[in-house]
Structure 1
Amino acid sequence: MSERMKTTRRRLLKAGAVGAVAVGSSFLVAGEAAADGYGSGALGPWENLSKRISTLTQIRPVLDTDGLFMFGDSISVQDGYSLAVRLQSRTGDQLAVHNWSGRPTAPAVDALAGWAQAYGLPRRILMATGSNDIFTPPVFAAQVDRTMAIAGPARTVIWVNVQVARTGQSAAVQLADQRNSGWINLQLADAQKRHPNLRVVHWAEFLAAKPSRLTMYLSDGVHTTVPLGQDARNELIVQSIEAT
């Protein structure tokens, strides 16, 4: 095992003490999940799941007014419209979205690259993806770096970190979900050190601050409750955008 991987696992075990409020007081170490990859199972087919993708007619005004492009997963499919309304009422910014349920980060970054080539990019990009990377956490860091390379140093990338502990799964899987969420968030925090134009929305830390928030703001350990969780997450995002 490389020294970098050893360091990452030590940090995960330390970080687990914060995130474990979602699922219990004990924490799985990596070896206990080895029989099932990383313990969260496998990512199922997502290509035919629900999606919300802005049309060219919707994209053009965003570029003309220097609004934001958003790339997200099922949480964003559910919450994206409410976010767009909140954002425009607070900052006047328009939002074009490429949100797709079940999608991990790599194809979300493919979509970013596609829009960059087809339309160009505004100066701010919102990434609300990573929850579906719990099944293979090590691939996430490279996709963050890839995003930053596409965006370039003159643009700001705002990235929402993740909290997953699926309540419909067994306790062991929930623990693995929590650990893998922490792994993803550590990679995002490390990327912020490499990329000064990367801003992190600390959704996971907001939820962990009070144990009651996990049931109040999450319907299934992943998706937001409506309106409480949706409003709380969208407010954190808008505050981060206002600060850029």
Structure 2
Amino acid sequence: MRKSLSSFRPSRRLLFAAGTAAAASTVAAASASAESVTGLTSLGNYGSGVLGAWEQQARAISSEAQVRKTRENDGVFMFGDSIGVQDGPPLARQLSQLGISVAVHNWAGRPVTPAVDALDTWAQDYGLPHRILMSVGSNDIFTPPAVAAQVDRTMQIVGDERTVYWVNVQAARTAHGPGVQVSDQRNSAWINLQLAEAQRRYENLRIVHWAEHLAAKPNRLARYLRDGLHPSMPLGQNARNGLIVDAIKAG
């Protein structure tokens, strides 16, 4: 029998396993690499680098009319980053086929904190539907400890009567050397552990287990991610959006 999302409690082993196939073969090299030697100065305190300016990057934000329509129809508000910019349109089409309207606030490069700021603004300006999708966290590999407080803040904004669907993260960016990839993976697991801990505190928080899905079969990382972070199209995109749709259908 298939377990419900609320009953699935990911183990630390599963969370850290996501991405291991991409990074394991380079761990030894990473320990001796220039990145691991020069380390924290150029790569930031957590080894993944420093978050760059994201405010001028690509964005996809629904019109006020679409936001109000989605609120009135009790659809889904989505807050995302570059993955949301890429995968949001086909996801909206899939949900539309189920009679669920979507309003999006997706912004490439954006970490969790300003995404929650956007959620707070929409809550004040329009009110919220009963389903909120948070597709953010990948850009928090640069400062992973920031996530826990923002998850708490999200749950305070939405209240007890709404459901939050949060997609967990997997990053081991192939454009960077092995030291950064190992740091990316460690920081992704750190973020996912914070989400898993938050799920224990909030009954209305649902984790969409993207990282575990990628870890379930060794070939998925290479096939479903085009750069160690963004879903490939259409294979990875379909897989990730499918997980989201299943989670929303499950309630």
Q: TM-score, normalised by structure 1?
A: 0.90
1:23 aligns with 2:30: no
- Aligned partner (choices 95, 104, 121) of residue 114 of structure 1: 121
For the structure 1 residues 185 and 116, does the alpha-carbon distance in structure 2 shift closer, same or farther, using more than 3 Å as the test?
Answer: same
Distance in 1, Cα, partners of 2:226 & 2:12? 25
**What is the TM-score normalised by the length of structure 2?**
0.88
Q: Which runs of 5+ in 1 are unaligned?
A: 1-10
Q: State the SS of the aligned residue for 2:24.
A: coil
**Alpha-carbon contact 1:72-1:99 (below 8 Å) kept:** yes
Please state how far the C-alpha of 1:24 moved relative to its aligned partner. 1.3
- Separation in 2 of the partners of 1:164 and 1:59? 31
CA–CA distance in structure 2, aligned partners of residues 188 and 161 of structure 1 = 7
Aligned to 2:226: 219
Q: How much has 1:93 moved relative to structure 2?
A: 0.2
Aligned pair in 2 of structure 1 residues 51, 139: CA closer, same or farther (>3 Å)?
same
1:102 counterpart (95, 109, 112): 109
Residue from 70, 79, 90 that aligns with 2:87: 79
Q: 1:154 aligns with which of 157, 161, 164?
A: 161
* SS of 1:16 mapped into structure 2: helix
Q: Does 1:37 align with 2:82?
A: no
Q: 1:186 aligns with which of 169, 174, 193?
A: 193
The separation in 2 between residues aligned to 1:222 and 1:159, in whole angstroms, is 17
| Cα distance in 1, alignment partners of residues 145 and 133 from structure 2 | 22
Q: How many residues align?
A: 231
Query: Kindly, what percent of the aligned residue pairs are identical?
Result: 59
Query: C-alpha distance in 1, partners of 2:167/2:227?
Result: 18
* Unaligned ranges ≥5, structure 2: 1-10
Deviation at 1:15, TM superposition (A): 4.8
- Structure 1 residues 220 and 153, CA gap change in structure 2 (3 angstroms): same
Q: CA deviation at 1:22?
A: 2.3
Secondary structure of the structure 2 residue equivalent to 1:24: helix
Partner of 1:70, secondary structure, is: strand
Q: 2: CA distance between counterparts of 1:104 and 1:189?
A: 18
User: Cα offset for 1:19?
Assistant: 3.7
The answer to whether the 8 Å contact 1:49/1:102 transfers is yes
Q: Secondary structure of 2:179's partner? A: helix
CA distance in 1, matches of 2:243, 2:129: 21
Distance 1:236 1:18, change over 3 A: closer
* Structure 2 counterpart SS, 1:69: strand
| Alignment equivalent of 1:141, drawn from 148, 164, 178 | 148
Residues 185-226 of structure 1: CA deviation (Å, up to 9, x unaligned): 000000000111000000000001112111111110111111
- Aligned with 1:204 (options 193, 211, 214): 211
Q: Which residue does the alignment assign to 1:5?
A: none
2:239 pairs with 1:232? yes
**How many angstroms apart in 2 are the aligned matches of 1:53 and 1:68?**
14
Residue 3 of structure 1 corresponds to none
Counterpart selection for 1:62 from 70, 79, 82: 70
- Structure 2 vs 1, CA of residues 18 and 68 (structure 1 numbering), >3 Å: closer, same or farther? closer
Task: Identify if the C-alpha distance between structure 1 residues 83 and 223 changes in structure 2 by more than 3 Å, giving closer, same or farther.
Answer: same
Deviations 1:47-70 (A, max 9, x none): 000000001111122111100000
